Amino acid sequence: MAQAAVEVSELTKVINERIIVDRISFSVEKGEIFGLLGANGSGKTTTFNMLSGLLAPSSGTITILGKSIKEIQKLQRPGIGFVMQEDSFYETLTVRENLEFFAEMMGVPSGDKAGRIRRLLQDMKLQDKADTLASRLSGGMKKRLNLACSLVHDPEVIFLDEPTVGLDPVVRKEIWALIEGMHASRKTIIITSHYMDEVERLCHRVAIMYASRLVAAGTPEELKGRYKLKQMEDVFAHVAKPTA
């Protein structure tokens, strides 16, 4: 049996004696788009921060591409990329300068940099903005640059935290198309999202968290069938209610 791209086993986080994430387990197959869903207070954000290495687990394990988070953090060119909600680029640099900086930081070989950056500018539809300061980009273009900076080292696994939050419907669909393009190039993608239309369009499988536990998992169609509901929005409302 092929090794999963991401494996999470009995993952737990306790902060100030309060259980924030309670023994959750799931796996993500290579080439899959996987959604991690949960209302505020569910433990979803804490889980994402542990997956990204920003927060150490209290117990349990995270394995990505056969390596632990600690092993991955020691690599100059890890096979993972993280796209957080906050902009990760530098507004005082141009689009091209940002990509050059992140390529250098992530250890992209000098012979590969120019071609990699040229392709990213084309894929993200930023060619005409290559020499524009990042601070002057529109909200949608900043999202594209954020994606490009996280992809410059050609990671196999990509984590996207609320990739379209705050964007208008037209730009959201543009970002969806970019994500689908990443998947077409055989990337494994893990997404957190509050938008159920986004989940239904993009995700092959989803895991839903509520009150620190993983309470449901499956394809959108499986989950709708399991709860005899017609919309993923109704499934989410049924199993994942906001906590205090």
Residues 148 and 142: their CA atoms lie apart, in Å, by: 10
Q: Which two tokens stand for residue 64?
A: 């990505």
Q: Where in the chain is the domain with CATH 3.40.50.300?
A: 1-79+155-244
CATH 3.40.50.300 corresponds to the domain 1-79+155-244: yes
Instruction: State pTM to two decimals.
Output: 0.90
pLDDT of residue 195: 86
Residues 93 and 77: their CA atoms lie apart, in Å, by: 23
Residues 29 and 2: their CA atoms lie apart, in Å, by: 9
What is the chain's mean pLDDT, rounded? 91
pLDDT tens profile 227-241 = 999 999 899 989 876
Sheet holding 157-161, edge to edge: 80-83, 157-161, 188-192, 33-38, 205-210, 213-218
Q: What is the mean pLDDT of residues 54-65?
A: 94
